Amino acid sequence: MAARFIVTCCLTALGLPIVGMPLASDRSSRIPFKLQPYVQMVSVSQASESVPPAMQRRLNAAPARFWISSQGDRWALTGMGFELTSRLGYRMAYDRSSGMPYGPGTCITGDSGDAVWICTDRGVVRFDLKASGPDRWRFLNSRRWLPDDKALNLAADSAGNMWVRTQTGVAKIETRLTTLREKAQQFEERVRQRHWRHGLVAASHLQRPGDLSSNQMRSSDNDGLWTAMYMASQCYQFAATNDAAARNRAKTNLQALMTLESITESPGFPARSWILKNEPQPSDGEWHDTPDGQSRWKGDTSSDEIVGHLYGYSVYFDLVADEAEKRQIAAVVGRIVGGIMDNGWYLLDIDKKPTTWGKWSIDYFRSPDGIGRADAPLNALEILSALRTAHHITKDEKFLRGYRDLIDNYNYDRLTLRYKEHGNTAETNHSDDELAMLPFYSLLKYETDPILRTTYLMSLKHFYEIERPERNPLWNFIYGAASRAQDFNVADAVWTLQRIPMDLTSWNTPNSFRWDVQLRQDSDRFQRPQSITPLPPDERAIIKWNGNPYQLDGGGNGTEEDDGAFFLLPYWMGRYHKLLIGE
């Protein structure tokens, strides 16, 4: 009784509910966030001959040192910043100390909304006095926005767009009034056009940097995980809107995931990916031929794939599956989780040896120094969620017995409380955050025992408070749906969804030189500089939710485009759970 009292008091102090029905049956207990149209900035590179002559003349004119707004306010460049002389007579200076991202400026102008734009030799600064928070200052650099970063001149047009001349070309930065639903539709079209390979969804390779017409779909290291997350987004969309097209896309993904298990001819062991013999094969990894010699599949499957498959299967099972599909899913989930359970809590490859990262046994968790492996709390969470999910789907009591054995005899439930016990450190692997949040969602969806729910909610609350500054929409919506708490950051999640750029090409995006960045004392685990506060998504390199949002310098050479499922999943999850309404 003492243990129950202590845990319950802790949870009450954290402001979380102690008990309740599983989140799958509770979709209306939140205060929803009403979505509104917003302005999306998009850059369109312009060939010289396509720039209107009048605009060419303005861009080729001498750069302006001051600009008069529509209200009669004068904005002028100063040595290391700029100054407002108001029509009412007061003056205000803006520079590094007031949040200017970079300078000095070499030209200045404004747009039809009276936002100020400034050229620098590392990109373009935009300042909107009417905006607040991270939307007041914006910094646009990299090929996502400009032909090159040395901005030479600016000119606004009557439609509210800004034209930027650089050393090597011209960019037209458009402001488009849109909605998150419209954005989702555009991302969905992109998936079907360039990211759909045998029903698997992943990034595509661009044979010419930035040229989307040169895309070539290729296998990735985690095709199963990315496809499962995309499939889940389509399940949520179908459940929220009854869109038959979303259901059909999810059905195709389901069969693709099942193929990853059947192609290995080792029941319960899913491949990371597979290709036809005539498709490009990545140089990394462990590849095997199928008996007919027509295909190859990638082995050494990791916990990433197991987490992704089980999350995707569970969402499909609950929201989309007909009775025949439920039997199919139950069979494959039973083989995957049953195989891990029967093999001493290891995922065995076809050589009957544990894969590099498929280890959930207490023997693995222990280490010679008696402290225990650092990944024990995460792996404990993964396997507990896997067992609870398998029991829900298959109704086989052996999974519940295995679940209770790990809790009653090895304290796996208490191990979950140690995840992120030291916060985000230099050694933080942000991929692990994704491998924690997806299991949290399923575990709290299916667990009804009040004491176990209390333990898991305490662990989730601790994790969420560490992750809160990232404004991650997937973390926010999982936390909100699973905990039923009222203090999660719905508005921050929506802001991030809005600020995800339309261009998902992996361009090199340097930011460590910026004035407005506060550096952490420690680098990340790859010895790269990190910021104290994450930059907005459209000002940093393209990353999925398993990437490091504090990383300042990153990206690529423009030869890869992300599929955008990292936007679709939280958006449709929020819509399904009625955390977002109005579209």
CA dist 417 and 412 (Å) reads 9
pLDDT of residue 423: 67
- Cα separation values, 486 from 247, 423, 476, Å: 31, 23, 11
Q: What angle do helix axes 565-576 and 223-241 make, rounded to 10 degrees?
A: 30
Name all domains of the chain by residue range, CATH numbers in brackets.
40-177 (2.120.10.30), 182-581 (1.50.10)
What stretches of 292-368 adopt beta strand conformation (E)? Answer: 295-298, 346-348, 354-359
Q: Is the dihedral of CA 247, 249, 250, 251 positive or negative?
A: positive
pLDDT of residue 7: 41
Q: Is the dihedral of CA 431, 435, 440, 445 positive or negative?
A: positive
What stretches of 316-452 adopt beta strand conformation (E)? Answer: 346-348, 354-359
pTM of the model: 0.93
Tell me the pLDDT tens digit for each residue of 355-387.
Answer: 999 999 999 998 765 556 889 999 999 999 999
CA dist 255 and 328 (Å) reads 10
Return all residues near 118 (Cβ < 8 A) that are at least 6 apart.
Answer: 77, 82, 103, 105, 107, 108, 124, 125, 126, 127
Q: Helix (H, G, I), strand (E, B), or coil: what is residue 529?
A: coil
- Cα separation values, 396 from 45, 82, 329, 512, Å: 57, 69, 13, 53
Omega cis (within 30) before 104: yes
Q: Helix (H, G, I), strand (E, B), or coil: what is residue 94?
A: strand
Alpha helices in 422-580 (DSSP H): 430-446, 450-467, 473-483, 490-499, 565-576
Type of residue numbered 123: G
Type of residue numbered 212: L
| Region of 289 on the Ramachandran plot (φ > 0 left; ψ -120 to 50 alpha; else beta) | beta
Element containing residue 13 per DSSP (H, E): helix 2-13
Contact 110, 126 (CB under 8 A): no
CA dist 102 and 485 (Å) reads 39
Structure tokens at 287: 């590849």
pLDDT of residue 424: 67
Element containing residue 258 per DSSP (H, E): helix 244-262
Contact 101, 533 (CB under 8 A): no
Contact 198, 60 (CB under 8 A): no
CA dist 583 and 581 (Å) reads 6
Burial class of residue 289, CB neighbours in 10 A (0-12, 13-18, 19+): exposed
Q: What DSSP character marks residue 49?
A: G
Q: What are the backbone angles phi and psi of residue 293, rounded to the nearest 5°? A: 75, 5
Contact 14, 458 (CB under 8 A): yes
Q: Which residues of the chain have pLDDT under 50?
A: 1-30
Chain centroid to Cα 314, Å, comes to: 20
pLDDT of residue 426: 62
Q: What DSSP character marks residue 519?
A: B
Chain centroid to Cα 15, Å, comes to: 27
Strands 66-68 and 74-77: antiparallel
Strands 196-197 and 91-94: unpaired
